[in-house]
């Protein structure tokens, strides 16, 4: 028998190594994850953020609830700086749904053509303006559920608008907030919606109105995705994230 055949026979007779079930792997990973902070620790986290910045503000420029809605809608897949540059001239000529319809889709495109997906965004903003005029007398409704039915508006955008414009203590979840929530962790979640539900249930009432801004600013400037700047984090002693970058 040739060496090749003998080798093939030995391989075929060898017992396969037992594989680790996927569920077992999942359990092993979850067992290494830190448990969410307790309520007292969560209160202290938000107390420190409040002490450092009692009235946090978003970084999008707007003049009224409608321009806020438009700015947040345009901010998808774009930076706040880029949106502010585009809307500076736009809001000077179209700061109401009626004036946006007068500007028209082509006129709107000229103002926002520096933004990603500007063609789709222009269609959505014009369609949104039309619905606001026809169904809501040109006013932005104070309702997440209604806002979500408008073209180009999802749960995050709707939650941001009612939070800022109407002081409804919603916690809009983006990638920064999702990351910070699961790193501290305030909660262990799998989706943005899961995160929003958990945070709105867990965050103490006195801090919930501004929680969205504290979390997003913390994630954007300190608890960064690739390399969190833990050495200047206000809550690093309370954070249970295992891969801190403190020297």
Annotated binding site: 223, 230, 233, 239
Q: What whole-number distance in Å separates Cα of residue 140 and Cα of residue 102? A: 18
Q: Which residues does the annotation place in the binding site for [4Fe-4S] cluster?
A: 223, 230, 233, 239
Q: Give the torsion sign (CA, 47, 189, 71, 111).
A: positive
Distances (CA, A) of 23 to 35, 191, 222, 247: 19, 20, 34, 36
Of 17, 174, 205, 227, catalytic? 174
In terms of residues, how long is the chain? 247
Q: Which of 113, 156, 168, 243 is catalytic?
A: 156
Q: Shortest CA distance to 214 belongs to which of 240, 188, 177?
A: 177
Is 194 labeled as catalytic in the residue annotation?
no
* Side-chain-side CA neighbours of residue 40 (13 Å): 0
Tokens representing 47 are 């107390």
Q: Which residue has the tokens 């700061």?
A: 95
Residues 6+ positions from 129 with CB-CB distance below 8 Å = 97, 98, 100, 101
- Asked about 5 being catalytic, the answer comes back as no
- Taking the C-alpha atoms of residue 109 and residue 115, their distance in angstroms, rounded to an integer, is 10
Catalytic residues: 156, 174
């Amino acid at each position: 028998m040739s060496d090749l055949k003998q080798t093939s026979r030995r391989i075929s007779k060898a017992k396969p190594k037992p594989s680790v079930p996927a569920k077992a792997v999942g359990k092993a990973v979850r067992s290494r994850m830190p448990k969410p902070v307790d309520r007292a620790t969560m209160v202290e986290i938000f107390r420190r953020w409040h002490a450092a910045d009692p009235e946090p503000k978003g970084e999008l420029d707007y003049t009224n609830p409608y321009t806020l809605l438009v700015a947040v809608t345009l901010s998808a897949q774009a930076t706040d700086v880029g949106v502010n540059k585009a809307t500076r001239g736009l809001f000077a000529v179209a700061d109401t749904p009626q004036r946006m319809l007068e500007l028209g889709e082509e006129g709107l495109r000229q103002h926002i053509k520096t933004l990603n997906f500007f063609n789709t965004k222009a269609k959505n903003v014009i369609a949104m303006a039309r619905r606001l005029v026809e169904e809501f007398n040109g006013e932005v409704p104070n309702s997440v559920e209604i806002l979500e039915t408008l073209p180009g508006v999802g749960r995050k955008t709707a939650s941001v608008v009612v939070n800022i414009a109407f002081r409804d203590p919603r916690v809009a979840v983006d990638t920064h907030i999702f990351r910070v929530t699961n790193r501290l962790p305030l909660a262990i979640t799998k989706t943005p919606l899961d995160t929003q539900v958990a945070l709105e249930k867990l965050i103490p009432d006195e801090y919930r109105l501004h929680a969205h801004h504290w979390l997003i600013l913390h994630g954007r400037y300190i608890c960064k995705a690739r390399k969190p700047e833990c050495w200047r984090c206000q809550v690093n002693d309370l954070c249970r994230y295992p891969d801190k970058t403190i020297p």
